[in-house]
Amino acid sequence: MNKERPEVQFAISQANKDLAATIEKTVNSDPLLAKITKLISSEDSYSLMSVCDLAWAKSGTTTLELTLFAKPMLIFYRADWISYLIFLAFKRTHKVGWPNLLAGKDLIPELIQLDCSPEKLVQYSKDILDVPGLGKEISLELMALKNKLGEGNYAESCASELAQVLSN
């Protein structure tokens, strides 16, 4: 991505304090990665979300948080094969990302297991960043989801919506 889009700035939120040292060690072990990547503390994660143009988000709560900021994202997840096979055996939905579950459609690309590769992350990122209006369209859809959840306690509203979606 850096070769094709050197103007893109990368930031990693160290939201998981247990992994912060590992993330820092990994980034600093590669001179190019260390040069182009800014590490953000867990306390500044929401500030980062509010200003990013695109996020690569692990499947989970982060996708819901990014939805509340109406930020385009790519959802990615890789697990060991045993965990993934167990997931496949018991899954009740075809999607794993909160925005897609809430929208009831494929709104955000999900790169799961074999689809989760550096090449696909770059390809989808370029699509969102380079295709006029695509990022804006995603943001508008996410804003509609946020509005659907209503004012007040988003967590309770989201839990209610998800329970309704999953019960169907």
Give residue 73's pLDDT: 96
pLDDT digits (tens, 9 = 90+) for 89-126: 666 656 778 899 889 899 999 998 778 898 999 999 99
Residue 151, pLDDT > 70, answer no
DSSP SS3 for 153: coil
Question: Residue ranges of the domains in the chain?
Answer: 1-51, 56-167
> Is 0.85 surpassed by the pTM of this model?
no
The single-letter DSSP state of residue 42 is G
- Three-state DSSP class for residue 69: coil
Residue 131 to residues 77, 124, 134, Cα–Cα distance (Å): 24, 10, 6
DSSP 95: -
At 132-144, the pLDDT tens digits run 799 999 999 999 9
Q: What are the backbone dihedrals phi and psi of residue 10, each rounded to the nearest 5 degrees, phi first?
A: -110, 140
Helices marked H in 8-71 — which ranges?
Answer: 20-28, 31-36, 45-51, 61-68
